[in-house]
Amino acid sequence: MRVLIAEHDHAVYARLLRQAAPDLDVLTSGDSAELARLAVDCPVWLGQPDLLATLLRQGHKPQWLQSTWAGITPLLADGLPRHYRLTRAVGIFGQVMAEYVLTYILGHEREVLARLVSQVERKWDNRLGQSLVGRKVLIVGTGDIGQSVAQFLVPFGVKLYGIASRPREQAPFVEVAGLEDLGRLVGEVDYVVNLLPNTPSTHDLYDAALFKQFKSTGLFINVGRGVSVVDADLVQALKDGHLAGAVIDVCRQEPLPQRHPFWTAWGLLLTGHSSAPTSPELMVQLFVENLRAYQAKQPLRGEVDFARGY
């Protein structure tokens, strides 16, 4: 079977895939024109959604696309065909995302940034750090990644709450509520971690009205999608003391424009969409598993429902 790789790291992916599945005819190129030529005869594509979307716009008709990202927004753009099967990267981001979330939750409890300021000012900072035991964490989006983040938080003794598309019983959460309960829960927890995908129902969720319901000591962490947040409302909410701080990994426009208010917002830390990089080794392992399932006409992990957008 022929497989096309459309990736910035295409050489790495090609080497790993040829090692993992020597029976495949692996085609790739760093040249866009050559990539388009190779796509003509390839039924299966592996790569990043922005490059795959460019190939689709040229009229190619693959049978199955495997995204190397958890998000597949570029492939959902208006006018793009949806005649093929699409799978997104699942099961490979859980630990690295949990490590990111833990970094900033622990950093907030131990006031790492404030202590750095104290050091710069040569002030002996002997305030006592706090523990996570008993803290309440709300994970907004309890799917594959959210579930994994929750499991990594369990040993710290936190109380876990979740938001999903509909209420349900789900360990290790005390409660998993529907999106309509987001306003209630943000006022009861110490940390709000947004992991929602980019769908019409998740746009502009975090607005002035919602931020007013946060605990004034709460920390907001956005590792989902930038479109979930009304940027100006977050900046104002921080200014007005409706929440203690925000860690923003994802933005509506990336890289962030130089004049954007996030750069200078009080209490806001930017991390430049670095929370969960794709591991080529884990991605190739997932792809080969899905490929064998595809060849055997079995269900694929991470298959996207175009109607839902994830």
d(CA 73, CA 80): 11
In whole angstroms, give the CA distance from residue 107 to residue 61. Answer: 48
Question: What sign does the CA torsion over 140, 145, 151, 156 have?
Answer: negative
Other C-beta atoms closer than 10 Å to the C-beta of 279 total 16
Asked if residues 3 and 24 have their Cβ atoms less than 8 Å apart, the reply is: yes
Listed residue (260, 261, 258) closest to 238, CA to CA: 261
Question: Which residues on neighbouring strands pair with residue 64, listed in sequence order?
Answer: 44, 85
Of 156, 103, 84, 96, the closest CA to residue 303 belongs to: 84
Does the active-site annotation cover 60? no
d(CA 216, CA 214): 6
User: CA distances (Å), 128 to each of 111, 158, 180, in order?
Assistant: 9, 19, 37
The reply to whether 273 belongs to the active site is yes
Q: Pick the catalytic residue from 225, 242, 259, 292.
A: 225
Name the active-site residue from 15, 110, 260, 273: 273
142, 166 contact by CB (below 8 A): no
Instruction: Single out the residue of 170, 222, 175, 178 nearest to residue 197, CA to CA.
Output: 222
Which tokens is 2 given? 């022929």
Which candidate, 1, 49, 61, 65, places its Cα nearest to that of 27?
1
Q: Which tokens go with 88? A: 């997104």
Positions annotated as catalytic residues are 225, 273
